[in-house]
Structure 1
Amino acid sequence: MDIPKIPLGSWIEALEDWMSANFGPFFDVIKFVIGMIVKGFDIVLRGTPDLLLLVILVALTWYIAKWRMGLFALIGLLLIHNLGYWSNAMQTLSLVLTAALLSIVIGVPLGILCARKNVVQNIVTPVLDFMQTMPAFVYLLPAISFFSLGIVPGVISSIIFAIPPTIRLTNLGIRQVPQELVEAADAFGSTPSQKLYKLQLPLAMPTIMAGINQTIMLSLSMVVIASMIGAQGVGTDVLRAVQQTRIGTGFEAGLVIVILAILLDRLTQTVMKKSKK
């Protein structure tokens, strides 16, 4: 006897239709806000003359991560400019920075809430497990449905894919603060907000920065996937190279993403190491 198939797909589609019908204005607001943030980053990164921005980025890298990374930034960014990917690289950077910024704004408070309330942690943890194991391509479908094509659904799918490390490691970092210090703060009459901002967050900052680092890397890994739904940038060059079997172009575009990934990774790691001191 055949067991009737559970109409899970139909239920999901019905839920999607219901959300589109009842929360359309809310999704429009989200689309507008994310679009404005991306546009702001894009105006700064692509509106600034190329060589001036290159000098600023190299100087910033040199200041944060010392001369070796500054030299790497100089060579890497000059190579990106020479290969003709500067504009697309800045578009990609706008997408990644927007996704990372929103992931931090949402993820850190949620991680703090998980650390304070076990009930919240027990609810959020299975959701994070689901978000991290679901294939990234699946996130494109609801993003397209609610936000149409373009860079906004690319940012949304990047946030869903990249936010779990920030939430998890914020929660972990605060929970790892020695209980003796927390009790001492309570003994001195600290309010919950004072205890959070003056004790727990400073001590948890290295762990939180590790989560932010992973979020940035995961956002960058979504660049090519996001290009499939209209997000512009280097991901579009990689996708086009794959479709046309152009190995040389694909290698060049991939190298651009690698350079950006190394720069972002080393900068956040340096900030993380400094926060430990």
Structure 2
Amino acid sequence: MNLPKIPLGSGVEWIENWLTTYFGTFFDIIHAIIGGMVGGIEAALIFLPSLILIALIAALAYWIGKWRMALFTIIGLLLIDNLGLWGPTMQSLALVLTASILAVLIGVPVGILCAQSNGVKNTVTPLLDFMQTMPAFVYLLPAVSFFSLGVVPGVIASIIFAIPPTIRLTNLGIRQVSEELVEAADAFGSTPTQKLIKLQLPIAMPTIMAGINQTIMLSLSMVVISSMIGAQGVGALVYRAVSQAKTGAGFEAGIAIVIIAILLDRLTQNALKPKQR
């Protein structure tokens, strides 16, 4: 029995064309905002000489972590500078930071809403499942349609791909707060806002930070994929090396991504350890 094919693909394309026609101005505004954020962060990173910025990041690594972390920061970033990849690395870092900041600004409030309402949680959870299981390359198609080629669609695709861990772990961290503590806060007359800010969020912060850490790592994993739609940086060098079969150049660019990934991972993992102690 041959059933007629459901016109799912054509329906998605119709929705895409409708959104492009009637919300083009809105997408232009989003494009300008995100493009300005990436440009501003990139300008701030490139404004200082590389050695001064390396010293500042190493000092931050020493303050957050230990001397071993500061030593790795110095050696790793000096290696990136020596390989002539400092500019592209800062471009990629600006993309990752922009995507991560926007993902956190959206994901944490949504996670709080999920923790406070089972209805919101049951609605959002299937969307998160869809976002995490859909191949990342698929996000590039509507991003390019709405925002053209360049760094902005790369940021949008990175946000969609990387935001689920922040939402999930924010919801989980708040829900794991002891009911006895919540009841005690209610008994002392705390408002919902006071209970959230002074009790639930501080206790849930390690779990929330784990979600933010995963979001940053997933954003970084989109660097190479975003280069396929015009995003510059180290990802573009990797993509060019793959297309031209240049193993050495691809290895050098890959090392730069690994160093940045380890650095961001350790910084976010150790951000709250002093406060916990």
Work out whether the TM-score is over 0.5: yes
Structure 1 residue identity aligned to 2:102: L
Residue equivalent to 2:33: 33
Following TM superposition, by how much is the alpha carbon of 1:132 offset from its aligned partner in structure 2, in angstroms? 0.1
Residue equivalent to 1:91: 91
**Secondary structure of the residue that 1:84 maps to in structure 2?**
coil
Structure 2 residue identity aligned to 1:228: M
Q: Structure 2 CA distance, aligned partners of 1:189 and 1:29?
A: 43
8 Å CA contact 1:103–1:162 kept in 2: the answer is yes
Deviations 1:64-99 (A, max 9, x none): 112000000000000000000000000011000000
Following TM superposition, by how much is the alpha carbon of 1:273 offset from its aligned partner in structure 2, in angstroms? 3.2
- Name stretches of at least 5 consecutive residues in structure 2 with no aligned partner: none
Following TM superposition, by how much is the alpha carbon of 1:52 offset from its aligned partner in structure 2, in angstroms? 1.2
Which ranges of 4 or more aligned residues in structure 1 deviate by more than 2 Å?
272-277
**Secondary structure of the residue that 1:228 maps to in structure 2?**
helix
Q: Structure 1 CA distance, aligned partners of 2:273 and 2:54?
A: 25
Residue equivalent to 2:216: 216
8 Å CA contact 1:210–1:272 kept in 2: the answer is no
Q: Structure 1 CA distance, aligned partners of 2:110 and 2:95?
A: 22
Deviations 1:85-115 (A, max 9, x none): 0000000110000000000000000000000
Residue equivalent to 2:19: 19
**Secondary structure of the residue that 2:229 maps to in structure 1?**
coil
Following TM superposition, by how much is the alpha carbon of 1:62 offset from its aligned partner in structure 2, in angstroms? 1.4
Normalised to the residue count of structure 2, the TM-score between the two structures is 0.99
Q: Structure 1 CA distance, aligned partners of 2:226 and 2:255?
A: 18
Deviations 1:188-240 (A, max 9, x none): 00001000000000000000000000000000000000000011100000000
Quick check: 211-220 or 46-55, which moved more? Answer: 46-55
8 Å CA contact 1:59–1:70 kept in 2: the answer is yes
Equivalent positions of 1:1-277 (< 5 A) are: 1-277=1-277
Quick check: 132-141 or 49-58, which moved more? Answer: 49-58
**Secondary structure of the residue that 2:185 maps to in structure 1?**
helix
Q: Structure 2 CA distance, aligned partners of 1:50 and 1:41?
A: 15
Structure 1 residue identity aligned to 2:82: N
Between the two proteins, the alignment pairs up a number of residues equal to 277
8 Å CA contact 1:45–1:90 kept in 2: the answer is yes
Structure 2 residue identity aligned to 1:151: V
**Secondary structure of the residue that 1:149 maps to in structure 2?**
coil
RMSD: 0.8
**Secondary structure of the residue that 2:66 maps to in structure 1?**
helix
Following TM superposition, by how much is the alpha carbon of 1:276 offset from its aligned partner in structure 2, in angstroms? 3.5
Following TM superposition, by how much is the alpha carbon of 1:253 offset from its aligned partner in structure 2, in angstroms? 0.4
- Alpha carbons of structure 1 residues 246 and 98: separation in structure 2 relative to 1, 3 Å: same
Q: Structure 1 CA distance, aligned partners of 2:118 and 2:29?
A: 32
**Secondary structure of the residue that 1:271 maps to in structure 2?**
coil
Structure 1 residue identity aligned to 2:136: A
Structure 2 residue identity aligned to 1:85: L
Identity %, equivalent residues: 69
Quick check: 143-152 or 53-62, which moved more? Answer: 53-62
Q: Structure 1 CA distance, aligned partners of 2:156 and 2:274?
A: 31
- Name stretches of at least 5 consecutive residues in structure 1 with no aligned partner: none
Q: Structure 1 CA distance, aligned partners of 2:190 and 2:204?
A: 18
- Alpha carbons of structure 1 residues 57 and 37: separation in structure 2 relative to 1, 3 Å: same
Structure 2 residue identity aligned to 1:179: E
Q: Structure 2 CA distance, aligned partners of 1:95 and 1:161?
A: 14
Following TM superposition, by how much is the alpha carbon of 1:60 offset from its aligned partner in structure 2, in angstroms? 1.2
Q: Structure 2 CA distance, aligned partners of 1:205 and 1:61?
A: 20
Following TM superposition, by how much is the alpha carbon of 1:36 offset from its aligned partner in structure 2, in angstroms? 1.0
